[in-house]
Amino acid sequence: MTFSKLMDGVVGTGPFQFIIMALLGIPILGMANHNLLQIFTAVTPSYHCRPPPNASAGLWVLPTGLNGKPELCLRFVYPPNASLPNDTHRATEPCLDGWVYNVSTESSIVTEWDLVCESNKLKEMAQSAYMAGTLVGGIVLGDLSDRFGRKPILSYSYLLLAASGSGAAFSPTLSTYMVLRFLCGFSNSGVTLSTVILNVEWVSIQMRAITSTAIGYFYTVGQFILPGLAYIIPQWRWLQLTVSVPFFAFFLLSWWVPESIRWMVLSGRTPKALKILQWVAAFNGKKEDGEKLRPEELIHNLQKEISLAKARYSVGDLFRTPILRRVTFCLSIAWFSTGFAYYSLALSVGEFGFNLYLLQLIFGGVDIPAKFLAILSMSYLGRHTTQATALLLAGGCILALVFVPSDLWTLRTILAVFGKGCLSSSFSCLFLYTSELYPTVIRQTGMGISNLFTRIGSMTAPLVRITGEFHPFIPNVIFGTVALLGGSAAFFLPETLNRPLPETIEEVENWSPQTKKPKQELEAEKATQRIPLQPCGADPDPI
């Protein structure tokens, strides 16, 4: 009996699993708030140069650009009514006395620290600092989770996110704000990794897909909460504090989440693991099954995992064999392009000319049908087709934005929303597809590398948006081209629909790239074709 079947038999599916799903899922509502918070805390209101102190009120006008609109970052050196030779070519200068903002409805870090004109790059760098934190956190906290357990990392990640997020609300300078946002991203990774692992290790095999999808929908609902909070709380400091304080409560609630039984047994804490397992069995109405368990039985059913854990595998093994090397290369491109393009659209909500709060609701709402369609497509068309199609469609939508005039806001919004939905489907497919492509002995390492590349993509996206200063179409060309590249790379991945999970690297290498089936299965099919017809009364193959 495998350890998973032992857990299913003793613990089963009952109230405990639904409580665990709620305890792990409710904090995920707040993860969307932090990931997309800068859409509202870094909004750029209308602004213009502040006139000189000695300027007459109402008489100072702004120079106009080639498009006929007033310049945002320039002002006249002399008053417009000054008698000057060659008055039609009045000299201009930068905004030496700062800017005037329309802050009648909201404030942001942009108005707080003048992140406009030459300093507008700092706005994107602030978001990149957060994404850099998620990158570093994924590398550091994933290893610490294997060393010290999933529960401590989850609990202290909640605490760090609450403290750093609340501290960011009181930041006196932009540099302090960026450091604290980096720590927010760092702790975000700890919450995400521990939540995913605990969910998988505490629910039955049959429930994994359901609970994983349910937790994913917690994130989607969180995208609806954020615009509502931002509408009610227009001051960026109070909004930052509001989305951070609840994690102090999540820190306290996390102590009700039990540690992973699998991790405790592998770490030599079998007596404590047995005690927790028996308590959970009693909670689910299987007290007798729990009392029959013995420590030796837990260890015996984890012998395979223990032997695999003793084997030494590294990142280099992902590139050691031909097929695994191709899988790693193609998956890395797909993960990078998905994170890269997803945050390019998610963070550009304010550029489509509609009400920012309503548009964020639409951007969040598209994830609901997108994830549902992704599940249907993966189940019937396969992972290979779903992954490639989602990225190709997303890339096409982003590139189409280059050719749609800026005044056609409705069409541009439809393309952006559809593209974001495709990228949401891509994320849903990638999580499952990656776990099915990598063998057990190196699956965690493969997932870690994949997480690394998607974090690099999300960290790079805000920086690429800066290229729009040279020409508005450049960012969309880059984002769309990279998404198309990721979709093309997915065509070189084998199909895994209805296939058992590979245990070793050798099993992956036996995969036939032409038919997407293991070579042993091809031989079995050929042998089956040579079997003569059975006489009447024989039991035929029901398939």
Residue scoring higher pLDDT (508 or 85)? 508
How long is the chain? Answer: 543
Question: What does the alpha-carbon distance between residue 344 and residue 461 come to, in Å, rounded to a whole number?
Answer: 6
> How far is Cα 169 from Cα 150, in angstroms, rounded to an integer?
29
DSSP-assigned letters across all residues of 294-336 = -HHHHHHHTHHHHHHHHS---GGGGGSSHHHHHHHHHHHHHHH
Distance (Å, rounded) from C-alpha 217 to C-alpha 355? 24
79 vs 14, more confident: 14
Residue 40 contacts residue 34 (beta carbons within 8 Å): no
* Whole-angstrom distance, CA of residue 71 vs CA of residue 490: 45
Domain spans in the chain, listed from the N-terminal domain onward: 312-509
Q: How far is CA 153 from CA 292, 299, 307, 340, in A?
A: 32, 25, 25, 27
Tokens 């945050």, residue?
343
Among 27-41, 239-253, 346-360, 401-415, the range of highest mean pLDDT: 239-253
Identify the residue with better confidence: 454 or 211.
Answer: 454
Please give the DSSP secondary-structure letter assigned to residue 438.
S
Residue 194: closest CA among 240, 277, 265, 137 = 137
pLDDT for 524 beyond 60: no
Superfamily of chain region 312-509: MFS general substrate transporter like domains (1.20.1250.20)
Reply yes or no on whether the pLDDT at 21 is more than 70.
yes
Greatest mean pLDDT among 124-133, 334-343, 496-505 = 334-343
Pairing of strands 92-94, 74-76: antiparallel
Distance CA 129, CA 168 (A): 13
Q: Write the CA distances from 346 to 356, 418, 463, 510, integer angstroms.
A: 12, 12, 14, 40
pTM (global) more than 0.85:
no
Which amino acid belongs to residue 315?
Answer: V
| Angstrom distances, CA of residue 97 to CA of 54, 110, 258, 337, 389 | 11, 16, 58, 42, 52
CA gap 223, 243 in Å, rounded: 12
Query: What was the pLDDT predicted at 529?
Result: 41
Q: What is the DSSP letter of 257?
A: S
